[in-house]
Each structure stands twice: as C-alpha cells, then as structure tokens.
C-alpha cells in the first residue's frame, strides 16, 4: 500500500491516529504549513494593539494590499492569519458568527478571551474526528472591551490558545519573538511601535529579502476610538521603505 510508505507510516492517514511516539502527524503537517508561511506579529502597546505581517508577492501584476491577511471580526476586534489563507478566512467568518450570536443572546459584546477560546475550540474540533483535517493556519486575535481593555491572543492548528503581550508565528517566528522580548512595547504608543515592527518583519526572514514583498498592518487603539482600523496601502509602503532604509544603514555601519 503506497500510503504506508509515507513519512508517518500510515499514522498520518487521519487525525484519530497517534503514532508510537505520541504524535498526531496531521497536526504536525498543519503546523508545517504555518511555519513556512508569512511571519505574523501582534504587540500590545501603551495605547492599543498593533498587528502586522510581511508577504511575498506571488505575482508582479498583483494589485498592492489585495492579498489580505488581516480582517475585522467586529468594530473592536481584528484577526491576522497565515498558513493556508482560506483556512484562516474560515476562522474569521466563524468569529463573526460567534460575535453576532453572543451579541444577540446576551445583548453585549463578546470579550476577547471568550471569542479566542471559542475559535480555538472550533479549530480543535477538526483534530478530533475521522474525515476532518486540522486547519493549516495560526491566528492572532486583537480585541477591545470595556471590562478587560485591550487583549491579544494567538491560536495554533492544534487549537491551543494563549494570551500575550507580544506574539509571532510563521517563517520568521524565532527572530521575531526574540526582538519582541527585547523591546518594551508596553511603554510605546502604537504610532511609535509601527516602524519597529516593520523592521522586525523585514529582518526576520533572510530567504525572502530578494523577493518582492509588502507589509500589511492594522491598529486597534485609543486613537482609533477603540475601533479596528487598517493602515492604508500608502502608509504600509512608507513603513516598508523606511524599514528597508534603516536596515541598509545598519549594514553599511557594520561594514
């Protein structure tokens, strides 16, 4: 049987199989889709949350900022996805349904923690049943509510969900996480944090530096009146060029 010759030796046929090492290969494959995709970053700042991603342009004819990775779930909640993007969009649409259902039932906005937990549970369901496959996406969720303020969560293909001050995933996650730990974003405003996050995104992956790239950002802050707002294509390009210039200047100083 050809399937038995695969790396999982048949244990990767479905998510219901545990390998002798205690692994679920289908989940590992989904995580691989995330690890080889765009770097995504979320950071909690003094006055809100910034989310950003770097994208390799698949085609020179692509209209800027149309290959979207950041979406709004509600006025005060945004989600950033990577990996298999249609999978991420499915999670986003589920988030919108959860937001409306909660609002209709309780007459109040859903909190970031409850929404993140529900979306993570939804992702986890696909790791439990034969005939399903894990979602090949990780999601960063930024929310604001009057009780908890600004909250940042990240979910992975297995359905794990945690709250963060700063988080990163994708091909440049190791260096991005290191840089996020070094910088005190909690002491910066969102406006001050944007150039630093742009620079982290561009320096996180050496293998994409010679390819056509663009950045995408959104902000949820006091300045936006607690509403999730996308940065314009012009502003994203401005941040991209400024970050490139700063990186080039540093390289020249080292030489």
Q: 20-29, 98-107, 175-184 — which is least confidently predicted?
A: 20-29
Give the per-residue pLDDT at 206: 72
Please give the Cα distance from 252 to 235 (Å, whole number). Answer: 26
- Residue 8 placed within a domain: no
pLDDT tens, residue by residue, 32-46: 999 999 999 999 999
pLDDT of residue 132: 86
CB 80 within 8 A of CB 42: yes
pLDDT tens readout for residues 175-230: 999 999 999 999 999 999 999 999 999 998 777 777 788 999 999 999 999 999 99
Using an 8 Å Cβ cutoff, are 53 and 160 in contact?
A: no
Judge whether 144 lies within some domain.
yes
pLDDT at position 4 is: 41
Inform me whether the pLDDT recorded for 130 exceeds 90.
no
Taking the C-alpha atoms of residue 189 and residue 147, their distance in angstroms, rounded to an integer, is 21
The mean per-residue pLDDT over the stretch 226-246 comes to 94
Domain holding 138, by residue range, is 18-254
Average pLDDT value for residue range 96-123: 96
Contacts of 26 by beta carbon, 8 Å cutoff, 6+ apart? 12, 14, 15, 127, 133, 134
DSSP class of 231: P
pLDDT at position 212: 83
When pLDDT is cut at 50, 70 and 90, the band that residue 9 belongs to is: low
> Residue 210's CB: how many other CB atoms inside 10 A?
7
pLDDT at 2 over 60: no
CB-CB neighbours of 135 under 10 Å: 31
SS3 string, 91-157, reads: HHHHHHHHHHHHHHHHCCCCCHHHHHHHHHHHHHHCCCCCCCCCCCCCEEEEEEECCCEEEEEEECC
> In this predicted structure, what is the pLDDT of residue 251?
74
Is 1 part of any domain?
Answer: no
Whether 6 maps to a domain, the answer reads no
Instruction: Among 24-33, 154-163, 208-217, name the most confident range.
Output: 154-163
pLDDT for res 61: 86
pLDDT at 14: 67
Mean of pLDDT values over 66-92: 95
Instruction: Please report, for the domain that includes residue 236, its CATH number.
Output: 3.60.20.10
The answer to whether position 2 is within a domain reads no
Question: Based on the structure, what is the number of domains in the chain?
Answer: 1
Count Cβ neighbours within 10 Å for each residue of 90-112 and write b for 16 or more, e otherwise: bbbebbeebbeebeeeeeebbbb
d(CA 40, CA 37): 9
* pLDDT recorded at residue 124: 95
Asked if residue 1 has pLDDT above 70, the reply is no
Q: What is the pLDDT of residue 6?
A: 45
- Domain membership of residue 7 (yes or no) is no
Residue 48 lies in a domain: yes
Cβ atoms 10, 4 nearer than 8 A: yes
Domain-located, residue 9: no
């Amino acid at each position: 049987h050809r399937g038995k010759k695969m790396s999982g030796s048949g244990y990767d046929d479905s998510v219901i199989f545990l390998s002798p090492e205690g692994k679920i290969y289908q989940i590992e494959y989904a995580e691989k889709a995330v690890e080889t995709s765009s770097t995504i970053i979320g950071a909690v700042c003094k006055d809100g949350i910034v989310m950003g991603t770097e994208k390799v342009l698949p085609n020179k004819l692509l209209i800027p900022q149309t290959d979207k990775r950041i979406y709004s779930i509600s006025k005060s909640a945004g989600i950033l996805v990577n990996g298999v993007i249609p999978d991420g969009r499915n999670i986003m649409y589920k988030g919108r349904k959860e937001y409306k259902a909660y609002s209709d039932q309780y007459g109040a906005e859903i909190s970031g923690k409850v929404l993140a937990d529900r979306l993570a549970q939804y992702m986890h369901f696909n790791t439990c049943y034969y005939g399903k496959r894990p979602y090949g996406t990780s999601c960063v969720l930024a929310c604001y509510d009057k009780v908890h303020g600004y909250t940042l969560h990240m979910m992975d293909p297995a359905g794990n969900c945690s709250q963060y001050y700063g988080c990163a995933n994708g091909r440049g996650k190791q260096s991005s996480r290191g840089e996020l730990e070094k910088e005190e974003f909690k002491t910066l405003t969102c406006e001050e944090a944007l150039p630093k996050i742009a620079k982290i995104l561009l320096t996180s992956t050496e293998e994409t530096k010679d390819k056509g790239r663009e950045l995408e950002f959104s902000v949820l802050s006091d300045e936006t009146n607690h509403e999730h707002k996308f940065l314009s294509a012009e502003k994203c390009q401005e941040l991209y060029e400024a970050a490139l210039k700063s990186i080039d200047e540093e390289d020249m100083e080292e030489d």
